[in-house]
Amino acid sequence: MMTHGALPLFYVFHFYLFGILAIASALAFVTRKSPVAAVLWLVNTMFCLAALYVLLDAQFIGVIQVLVYAGAIMVVFLFVIMLLNLGHPSDVDDVRGTWWKLAGGLVGLALLAQVFAITRPRVPESLTLPAGTIANQIAATGAIAPVAGPLFREYLLAFEVTSVLLLAAVVGAVVLGKRRERAHAR
């Protein structure tokens, strides 16, 4: 395990830069009234996460993050939002009052405090991997097999159910869009 002193300044600077950009983009995502603007901020968050994966030496996961999430799923979300034609952002204003926003902020702060409390202690020696374990595994099986193996063996059902749910969401959006179109035509 490397400490900050052992890492180059370039790496540390960019890690914190992309981390801060990801948090700022996520906050912009949840505060936008326009659904299209919100989705675009979410795409920016996905790109920042992909950059963090690359900095953590997980290039495959970073590329998958861009291709699957920032590419395919966000395009589907934009397609559904535009198909539903939600109208002007003022038509879909947030009806919750200030108290709900304050309560949401307090819950967010409580979750953040829990994350800091959990990650603060050191990991016990019995739970750490010996030096070179990951490098040996990549040399033996490649970089993709540890990710793809469990995905298509143990988690195949969850993977397929997720794809069916996304397909059902798109079909539902098309049906809702057609109904709204027929209602406006009458």
pLDDT of residue 1: 45
98-102, 129-133, 144-148, 180-184: the lowest-pLDDT one: 180-184
Q: Does residue 152 sit within a domain?
A: yes
Residues 149 and 87 in one domain: no
- The total of structural domains in the chain comes to 2
pLDDT more than 90, % of the chain: 10
pLDDT of residue 121: 66
Tell me the residue range of the domain where 174 lies. Answer: 143-186
Residues 12 and 83 in one domain: yes
Residues 163 and 80 in one domain: no
- Cα 45 to Cα 21, 79, 89, distances in angstroms: 7, 19, 22
Q: Does residue 111 sit within a domain?
A: no
Which of 92, 127, 161 is the last residue before a domain boundary?
A: 92
Which of 92, 118, 151 is the last residue before a domain boundary?
A: 92
- d(CA 49, CA 65) in angstroms, rounded, equals 8
The two most distant CA atoms of the chain are separated, in Å, by 70
Q: What is the pTM of this model?
A: 0.54
- d(CA 103, CA 101) in angstroms, rounded, equals 5
Residues 88 and 147 in one domain: no
Q: Is 61 exposed, middle or buried (0-12, 13-18, 19+ CB in 10 A)?
A: middle
Mean pLDDT (the chain, rounded): 79
Residues 2 and 71 in one domain: yes
pLDDT of residue 19: 92
Interval 49-68: pLDDT, tens: 999 998 888 888 888 888 88
